């Protein structure tokens, strides 16, 4: 059971950002517990269509409760976006929503092994039907690999020290549980930001690594832009700086004209149009939303629109 009910972050703002057409085709790249999907369906007309993705089998099971002929839920990572749409005969969509990161149920279900609040098997996979667990990865990774992951994905100052401690601990057996990992990190990290558990950054880094979260995001963004119809919207909600940096740079680069060689005699009017136009500024949860759902405090939403081709 989840200790905290899942509250959809930036619910109204995200769906409004899609600028929904009643008969349009939309994609929810991260179904979760269906908050965004249900509001999208409520905004669609009888001819509208919503295709949702989630790689978490528990989320897919929860999606079976959505009894709507306009809706289909695909058990796959959103990096399978183009392939899954092609299999369904969909060539263009009118909007895509990506609500990134980990959901409250995934954090609160001890058996998922994503939180140091519970002593549980060190799994961390969003899709528990495939892939390597965090424990399996740690059993094989080198000091260099662990250091890189903790430093790049967790921005952990003590990445090397933690990596050495993990390798040393393997001589006494595998690091198999969240409790073992949290205790080891706590012994190794001698200072930490006030109010933050010493293992916070390590758990984040391993979760991102095991699920290839940043790679998945980098893979899906170009697929989305290619599939968007002119005037279609891309809405992305990020929860930490690494995700938001990828989204911000991608949208920024796609909203600029292509870079041509210097001194090439091309008139501005003849320059290819950018693929995207940025819509508004980054949106953050209101104080009222954060007070109700503290986990929303780090959310950043960005919106871009596919440009009409000449």
Report yes or no: 242 and 207 within 8 Å, Cβ to Cβ. no
For 241-254, how does the pLDDT look when each residue is reduced to its tens digit (9 = 90+)? Answer: 999 999 999 999 99
- The confidence score (pLDDT) of residue 1 equals 38
Enter the tokens of residue 284. 């953050």
Domain boundary among the residues 172, 188, 211 is at 211
Domain membership flag for residue 3: no
Known binding-site residues for S-adenosyl-L-methionine equal 34-36, 54, 78, 99, 106
Report how far residue 159's alpha carbon sits from residue 84's, in angstroms, rounded to the nearest whole number: 38
> Average of pLDDT values for 234-243?
95
Q: Are residues 217 and 207 in the same domain?
A: no
Domain membership flag for residue 166: yes
Enter the tokens of residue 126. 């969003």
Q: Are residues 134 and 91 in the same domain?
A: no
Domain range for 206 is 119-211
For 69-114, how does the pLDDT look when each residue is reduced to its tens digit (9 = 90+)? Answer: 999 999 999 999 999 999 999 999 999 999 997 776 776 676 777 7
Domain membership flag for residue 110: no
Q: Are residues 18 and 62 in the same domain?
A: yes
Known binding-site residues equal 34-36, 54, 78, 99, 106
């Amino acid at each position: 059971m989840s200790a905290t009910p899942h509250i959809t972050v930036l619910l109204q703002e995200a769906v409004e950002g899609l600028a929904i057409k009643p008969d349009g085709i939309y994609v929810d790249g991260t179904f979760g517990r269906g908050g965004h999907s249900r509001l999208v369906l409520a905004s669609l007309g009888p001819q509208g269509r919503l295709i949702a993705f989630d790689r978490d089998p528990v989320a897919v099971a929860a999606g079976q409760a959505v009894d709507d002929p306009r809706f289909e839920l695909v058990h796959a990572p959103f990096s399978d976006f183009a392939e899954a749409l092609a299999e369904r005969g969909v060539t263009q969509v009118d909007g895509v929503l990506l609500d990134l990161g980990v959901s409250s149920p995934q954090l609160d279900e001890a058996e998922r092994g994503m939180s140091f609040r519970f002593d549980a098997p060190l799994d961390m996979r969003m899709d528990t039907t495939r892939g390597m667990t965090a424990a399996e990865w740690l059993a094989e990774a080198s000091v260099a690999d662990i250091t890189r992951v903790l430093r790049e994905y967790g921005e952990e100052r003590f990445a090397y020290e933690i990596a050495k401690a993990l390798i040393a601990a393997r001589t006494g057996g595998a690091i198999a549980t969240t409790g073992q990992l949290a205790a080891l990190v706590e012994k190794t990290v001698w200072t930490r930001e006030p109010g933050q558990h010493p293992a916070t950054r390590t758990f984040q880094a391993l979760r991102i690594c095991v699920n290839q979260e940043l790679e998945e995001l980098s893979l899906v963004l170009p697929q989305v832009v290619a599939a968007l119809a002119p005037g279609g919207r891309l809405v992305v909600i990020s929860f930490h700086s690494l995700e938001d940096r990828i989204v911000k740079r991608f949208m920024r680069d796609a909203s600029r004209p292509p870079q041509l060689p210097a001194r090439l005699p091309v008139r501005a009017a003849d320059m290819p149009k950018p693929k995207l136009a940025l819509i508004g500024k980054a949106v953050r949860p209101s104080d009222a939303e954060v007070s109700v759902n503290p986990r929303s405090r780090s959310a950043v939403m960005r919106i871009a629109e596919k440009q009409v081709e000449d």
